[in-house]
Amino acid sequence: MSTLAGKHIVLGLSGGIAAFKSAELCRALVKAGVTVQVVMTEAAEKFMTAVTMQALSGRPVYTSQWDPREANNMAHINLSREADAIVVAPASADFMAKLLHGGADELLSLMCLARPIDQVPLIVAPAMNREMWSNPATQRNVAQLKADGIHVLDVGQGDQACGETGDGRMLEAEEILEDLEAFFTPKVMSGKQVLVTAGPTYEAIDPVRGITNLSSGKMGFAIARAARMAGASVTLVAGPVHLPTPRGVQRFDVRSARQMLNAAVLHADAADVFIATAAVADWRPAHSADQKIKKDGSGQTPELSFVENPDILATIAQSPRGASGDLFCVGFAAESHDLLAHATAKRLRKGVPLLVGNIGPATFGQDDNALLLVDASGARELPHASKQALAVQLIDDIAVRLTR
């Protein structure tokens, strides 16, 4: 379940071509369990109709401070008091300047000014031409809005409606949704540096063949996302997977186990928590051919010999910081059977305080999972759920352990 479920958000639209993205944002919010009250400026109605936003939100849209539907004719008071947050998307350069100076000549700006500051956060998603965004006046306004306690989201980069390319685009709906989820997530990992390894490794036999496994990386990416949403600074070392980088996460791509070890060791020095979700190949070919190994029709198969790959989790867990507890290490065990026995043995063998077990064949490539948390006192099951939901539970569990 999304952290936004049950929230009531006022979605404000100011004038700008990016208003077309607000329709998708409204739909995504409703899907996440949010009740959405749309408020539009006169300029916004030049780009998006109130009828569209009403259909998507399922609620009447407000466009005027003189709306007679409010018995006391105070929509700017009533609507702001009901909200868990006011989100202005798009927020034009003009509207942000109006917010800065306390302008209040229409319903949306009136409502932003009249909101209880300590109870109703104001979040704005800027949208404008690249020159307008980079103009010193806009940048001064953004800096002051942040100083005033208004949460200003990043801008996107790319093609703009005017035909130019650069910074200033409004974020996509799914990006804003993720930022809003992060905003409302308790910051139980605030100030922590978290290192996550995810996905499979690939060990080359020749330039076109190799040894790998079925790990999709979805669990590790979900954990990285959950840690970032909980306030941590997150570094993600990813094997060869086809997944987008979670917002706000620093990602480093690797292929082999040795590359993953080097990257993990490099970043472990600055980490407070190391979560080893990657399904690292236990062995690699002793020699990788420079050219494709060809069959010659004789029926003879090539002879391959293998060497053991380095143990990334044990290497870091048994380093001075890992052994002392300065670096809290969490291992993962993907087993095919006897999960509790294998996970318990692996925790002791690796020397980690927490080992997370799952049944690999049942979860590789899937969007859901079930986890078994094994520590010195026993085992606890996290029942079957989406990988993102499990990631949130795991991060919450780790946060509690860090305070003991």
Q: Please tell me the predicted confidence (pLDDT) of residue 326.
A: 95
- Does the domain at 193-283+306-402 match CATH 1.10.620.20? Answer given as no
pLDDT in tens, 126-182: 999 999 999 999 999 999 999 999 999 999 988 888 888 888 999 999 999 999 999
pLDDT in tens, 97-116: 999 999 999 999 999 999 99
Q: Please tell me the predicted confidence (pLDDT) of residue 335.
A: 74
Report domain extents, the chain. Answer: 8-184, 193-283+306-402
Bond before 246 cis per omega within 30 degrees: no
Cβ atoms of 124 and 102 within 8 Å: the answer is: no
The H or E element containing residue 332 is strand 328-335
Residue 329 designated active-site: no
Q: Please tell me the predicted confidence (pLDDT) of residue 188.
A: 96
Q: Do domains 8-184 and 193-283+306-402 have the same CATH topology?
A: yes
CATH code of domain 8-184: 3.40.50.1950
Cβ atoms of 255 and 249 within 8 Å: the answer is: no
Q: What is the pTM of this model?
A: 0.88
Q: Please tell me the predicted confidence (pLDDT) of residue 199.
A: 95
Residue ranges for the chain with pLDDT beneath 70? 1, 360-362
Q: Please tell me the predicted confidence (pLDDT) of residue 194.
A: 98
- Say what the alpha-carbon torsion angle 131, 132, 138, 139 is, to the nearest 10 degrees: -30
* Catalytic position from the list 26, 112, 162, 329: 162
Cβ atoms of 209 and 202 within 8 Å: the answer is: no
